[in-house]
């Protein structure tokens, strides 16, 4: 199974444990792109809505395209009663948007699953002149706040982290947007913290695509090892999070 489709196998766990993003980030984005009633927005791969509420709540014409059938159904279940909510279950790479244009297209940890040339060229074509491309991601640091625990967790990884399919993503270059016609490229950062107990941490790790493809002879020992390490370390893992917002404009 492709990594970009694997999240569709765990919609409930994904919805409960995948992190949300910084309210300050969304306030900055909404102000920058002037999103509100009368504006048309497209979210790429919303998952189960980790980055949906703040944008949908502006009253804009919110649209989304979600590859996963079960994630799509979860989105409809959560947001289908909003009159400004619209979603299709399809692949952005091949979907025909029928000439529609958007004031903003945004992605939260999704656009990197699309080949760079398609991601930037197709979003550029779909934006109105002056429209915004916003790309959001999060970097979680649990080493700095938990040095000793981090060392113990790495021992578990060394012993049992043996995914059947190597994770080779990470080559997507957000900074290449100007190579495809975008202007006014900039990066903004926001900060926050998360805290997990042992069970929550294990459930969260179980939403990582590469962790889902650990074969069964290692998987149980891997997750049991993570849980035991956190329990022995005081039953608490703290993350120092950096929320990254990349912004770019389509010229007028």
Domain residue ranges of the chain, discontinuous segments joined by +? 3-140+168-193+240-249
Q: What is the pLDDT of residues 52-82, one digit of tens each?
A: 999 999 999 999 999 999 999 999 999 999 9
| Nearest-10 crossing angle of helices 198-205, 216-232 | 150
Beta bridge partners of 107: 44, 135
Q: For residues 211-236, give the mean pLDDT.
A: 96
pLDDT for the residue numbered 169: 62
Q: Is the pLDDT of residue 1 over 60?
A: no
- Rounded Cα gap, residues 30 and 74, in angstroms: 25
> Residue 103 in contact with residue 96, Cβ under 8 Å?
no
pLDDT for the residue numbered 170: 64
Q: Is the pLDDT of residue 238 over 70?
A: yes
pLDDT for the residue numbered 2: 66
Task: Say which residue, 63 or 5, is predicted with more confidence.
Answer: 63
Strands (E), the chain: 40-44, 61-66, 85-89, 102-108, 127-141, 183-196, 237-249
pLDDT band at 6 (very low <50, low <70, confident <90, very high): confident
Instruction: Give the predicted TM-score (pTM) of the model.
Output: 0.94
pLDDT cut 90: percent of the chain above it? 91
Residues 6+ apart with CB under 8 A from 54: 23, 26, 27, 30
pLDDT for the residue numbered 207: 94
pLDDT cut 70: percent of the chain above it? 97
CATH superfamily of 3-140+168-193+240-249: Vaccinia Virus protein VP39 (3.40.50.150)
């Amino acid at each position: 199974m492709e990594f970009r489709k694997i999240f569709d196998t765990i919609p409930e766990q994904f919805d409960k444990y995948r992190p949300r993003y910084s309210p300050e980030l969304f306030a900055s984005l909404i102000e920058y792109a002037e999103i509100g009633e009368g504006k048309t927005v497209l979210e790429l791969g919303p998952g189960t809505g980790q980055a949906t509420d703040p944008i949908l709540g502006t009253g804009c014409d919110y649209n989304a395209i979600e590859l996963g059938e079960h994630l799509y159904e979860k989105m409809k279940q959560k947001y289908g009663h909003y009159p400004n909510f619209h979603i299709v279950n399809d692949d952005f790479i091949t979907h025909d948007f029928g000439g529609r244009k958007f004031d903003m297209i945004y992605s939260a940890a999704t656009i990197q699953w699309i080949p760079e040339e398609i991601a930037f060229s197709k979003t550029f074509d779909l934006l109105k002149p002056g429209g915004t491309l916003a790309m959001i991601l999060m970097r979680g640091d649990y080493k700095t706040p938990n040095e000793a625990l981090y060392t113990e967790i790495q021992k578990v990884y060394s012993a049992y982290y043996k995914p059947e399919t190597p994770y080779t993503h990470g080559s997507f270059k957000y900074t290449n947007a100007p190579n495809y016609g975008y202007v006014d490229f900039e990066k903004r950062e926001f900060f926050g913290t998360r805290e997990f107990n042992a069970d929550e941490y294990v459930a969260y790790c179980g939403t990582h695509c590469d962790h889902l493809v650990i074969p069964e002879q290692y998987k149980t020992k891997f997750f049991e090892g993570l849980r035991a390490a956190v329990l022995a370390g005081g039953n608490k893992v703290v993350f120092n999070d950096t929320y990254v917002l990349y912004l770019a404009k389509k010229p007028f």
